[in-house]
Structure 1
């Protein structure tokens, strides 16, 4: 028997400092992304409040892109004509307890959904470092958390509903639609406007988070897999200096038979004596609780808390995925660039992601590690460093994150996706005139 409920987004959430800019676009002269580094090419923003309104808009408009919570750092969500942002003021959440699934409005944010799931005895398999992002946007770009056995967030999608360029409502599921479904989940906004998403659930669980400082790089080289498998989700933070990893964040599930057992020493790293921010100079106030304090999954899996401005704010981000078997070589390749990288860097993060079957996922058929870079907001300098990183990682067929900054040539990028031709055929089926394409898509998926 299905359990359905309708919730109103609380006034506390709407008024929170990190979300308020998303609700005041009408007063802005120019639309920018969350970090402020990207200005969108139009101020024509449509904000439908129902699937029927989305459908009417899609039928009416000749060109559009969907704009979510604006956490992408490049032009993937941009349009020169129309932006559509279906942010629900009243969101339907339908839990199917026997099937262990939940169906939600696609514009809902993970930080809004997670507490409700926990209250009703359920959980998601993983979360990204930020809970502030929309479910549809995160899945469409293969956004991820960490964990040797954890797929990216899109791997939890078991069904979706979207409105195609022609205005048709299409429903796809893992169970019934095979390859079409696997092609559509990481859709990059090119197949239709996603209006509902169904996610796999599991029983809720509690976690603890531990942080260690100054892990010697020599220990990482010798014990990489053991270190990354020490918790349910593990992240390494480094500035690439002094032959060490600055911080190791270990997120452990309490009920796991191999739950992390903290010691003062962890492969030569020392247990932190207070809560830390990944960027050492910043206050840990915005970060999720550490020091082995027990809490629900949604308050430990992200690095940052929902009610606060996440990360640094004024920054740029890049990220590259490499097959896990090349993890150590790839890390050492970047470490050799430390003198070029570090002057422009705030912090880097290394995470692990399990393989998946989603066509346009960077982890398609390969367990991966992700090398993430949080840069100072200086694009002229960063744009000179990225080609150096991409050249060093080319031997490992590194794939960039779709929503972050990269300089890779389109031909090289396209060669990394064996299902790209099939994906383009799917896009042609659902959007034959390219209504949902933009310059980013045209260049990176279709350009030379």
Structure 2
């Protein structure tokens, strides 16, 4: 049975970030910065509430008689209780014979074009651990993109305005960045396991390293670009954020309305139509929050029972990173044009170059992951290099202006036609001399 290390990492990041946020909020209060205190506590407590709700819904505690567990969730101690329960199950597994064992069938990765199906016995303890891992993975994604990402942006913005980086604030920003990168990593792994649910997926350490570097460069550069832009154009950062957020929020709904599919009602049998709508809105809210800072690795498909588009679309991936690179470059250009005396001792051109190179490094590690380290790369219909090359060819062809018709003199036109006619006549003469009774291919054309 696999050691539940992901549960432990999620709990440590959750507790460390929440505790540091509360301490930093108290320092803002003692300094008289009520606005910074309120925003810090808001970005710390809102994801905590959503994490408790996620754990309760996945484990279906509302339909069980567990008042103590519900009380601990209300007190924001749900992850601690769940982690204790996970390790209790893990260390007591195998001591007693389980009365019920289910059999699952998974297909192995193709070897030499062949894929074998393997049966595996799954006991109640292992199934419970799987449910806990899934719940903590989703909780890590919620914590990362609805709490840590705005928190990191806020604290870096405060550092720029005050021109000071305290020890508590630097520790908090490092924890927030680790939480975001870990949440993005869990999002990648969840996407792989959902898309290839029929296969026995095993992620190697090289894949984890590539994802970690890819997400670290992508998220760090994105946050720095937003902070730099907001520090010089405070009013204009709101339209940029709202346009990004609502664009990704309504995009799955637009595709759903265009498909003219019936409203999904098989997400959870216990949910009513209103409850299903609320769950879908929260899901698209999280989807928009992820795409604000990085590629979500999944595409929502609301007319599907799994709510996930399982097809691999390299075109969307290429368009996303091209548009995001253009947006980051444009925001940096505006920051460079309107920068204030705060950046007097900063080499602005070098900083812009470093940020653009950092984003290119993220794209490079992403390409390495999909080309060499993806655990299911043998199932791809085309490699990432072939897919992106075809996307770039299509985009270049779409952007290519039509060739302008050049006016030609009648004499030139006549001479060119005469040349073609002479060549065709000579070709026919040769064919007739060779005794070929059939017309030539050129004459047929």
| TM interval, short-chain normalised | under 0.3
Is the radius of gyration larger for structure 1 or structure 2? 2
- Give the alignment's TM-score, normalised by structure 1: 0.24
Q: Which has the higher contact order (CA 8 A, sep 6+)?
A: 1
- Structure with more helix by fraction: 2
- Structure with more strand by fraction: 1
